[in-house]
Amino acid sequence: MDAPTPDGLIWDAPFAALHRPVVVAAFEGWNDAADAATFATQWLARHGAGEQVAHIDPEEHTDFQARRPQVHLVDGVTRSVTWPETTFRVARFPERDLVVVQGVEPSYRWRSFCTAILDVHAAVGAELLVTFGALLADVPHTRPVRVTGTATDPGLVERLDLEPSRYEGPTGIVGVLHDRCRQAGLPSVSLWAPVPHYVSAPPNPPASQAILERFGRLVGLDLDLARVARTADRWREQVDAATVDDDDIRAYVDRLESRYDAGDLELDFDDDELDDDDWGDELPSGDEIAGELEQFLREQRND
């Protein structure tokens, strides 16, 4: 393990030359509604047999009172502390290799944090940097998830059939990272998926599936997402079951469906079928979904 750089980057292991590498990143927090973006990067790292090659020292960028380390018992006796660090894993696929960046949105020194990521980008000779994001939006859970791909470089927008970024307002680490890429003349793309705000508890398999499908087309990866699709179908079935008997929620979803079908929705932003290893926790139960919907209705009535 190398000593940390001034930006907190630490190389953990040497790695062989990568084939047409792409850096892909997602960060927990403001950019990650329902954990949909980070679930997508976790899937890529796992299915590409991701080996950790570097990490960013959390001491440099994390408020540990806001994001506390976790204590775990080892063999029921010894306690071990896990720190909320950002990791870099090499995931190899037949068509090309990925460097998957997973972590928490930093609390401090955002420009320095981005420098560490771009140092890895340069070290591996990456062709492109792609970030995943998810946002809460007025979208129905009953319709396909529309992923928006944006880029700041006009040439990249045209070549990859993306959209120019027109967002103005507060941003997260994703927006800052892409601005650093723009300043450095590095091609970068941001993929965003909307999550229904009335059922926003993680996970959200449909949003993660849509991000992975769009990413696969973008970089030319043939990803086997059959199990992800089955899990997404089960999630929709559970939400349907929780909403079918509630007239208020059903009417609200009907209105969202009408707007979706008319193209009136605008997104502003910067058994063995379910594998716990893929999705972390199990899908929420019908009671949990119903409780979230009831909370949403109470908030609507208060407004």
Find the Cα–Cα–Cα–Cα dihedral 121, 123, 124, 125, rounded to 10°: 80
Q: Give tens-digit pLDDT for 17-32.
A: 999 999 999 999 889 9
Report the distance separating Cα 102 and Cα 37, nearest Å: 10
Q: What pLDDT does 302 receive?
A: 58
Tell me the residue type at 196.
P
* Domain boundaries along the sequence of the chain: 9-302
Q: Give tens-digit pLDDT for 193-232.
A: 999 988 888 899 999 999 999 999 999 999 999 999 999 9
Report residue 119 as tokens: 């140092």
Q: Does the pLDDT of residue 295 top 70, yes or no?
A: no
Q: What pLDDT does 265 receive?
A: 61
Report the distance separating Cα 53 and Cα 268, nearest Å: 35
Residue 291 pLDDT class (50, 70, 90 cuts): low
Three-state secondary structure call for residue 257: helix
* More confident call, 253 vs 290: 253
Q: What pLDDT does 236 receive?
A: 92
Residues 6+ apart with CB under 8 A from 216: 222, 223, 225
29-38, 135-144, 289-298, range with the lowest pLDDT: 289-298
Residue with tokens 């009535």: 301
Name residue 273's beta-bridge partners.
Answer: none
Q: What pLDDT does 200 receive?
A: 86
Q: Give tens-digit pLDDT for 69-125.
A: 889 887 777 788 888 889 999 999 999 999 999 999 999 999 999 999 999 999 999
The mean predicted confidence, pLDDT, of the chain is 86
DSSP string, 48-86: TT-EEEEEE-GGGT--TTTS--EEEEETTTEEEEE---E
- pTM of structure: 0.85
Give the class (CATH, top level) of 9-302: alpha beta
* Contact present, 231 and 279 (Cβ < 8 Å): yes
Buried b / exposed e over 74-111, threshold 16 CB at 10 Å, is eeeeeeeeeebbbbbbbbbbeebbbbbbbbbbbbeebe
Q: What pLDDT does 43 receive?
A: 97
Name residue 25's beta-bridge partners.
Answer: 101, 131
CA distances from 38 to 13, 75, 209, 255, 279 (A): 23, 29, 12, 30, 10
Residue 1 pLDDT class (50, 70, 90 cuts): low
Q: What pLDDT does 15 receive?
A: 86
Name residue 246's beta-bridge partners.
Answer: none
* More confident call, 192 vs 273: 192
Q: Does the pLDDT of residue 35 top 90, yes or no?
A: yes
> How many residues are given for the chain?
303
Q: Give tens-digit pLDDT for 36-64.
A: 999 999 999 999 988 999 999 999 898 99
Q: Give tens-digit pLDDT for 262-286.
A: 886 655 444 333 344 454 445 555 5
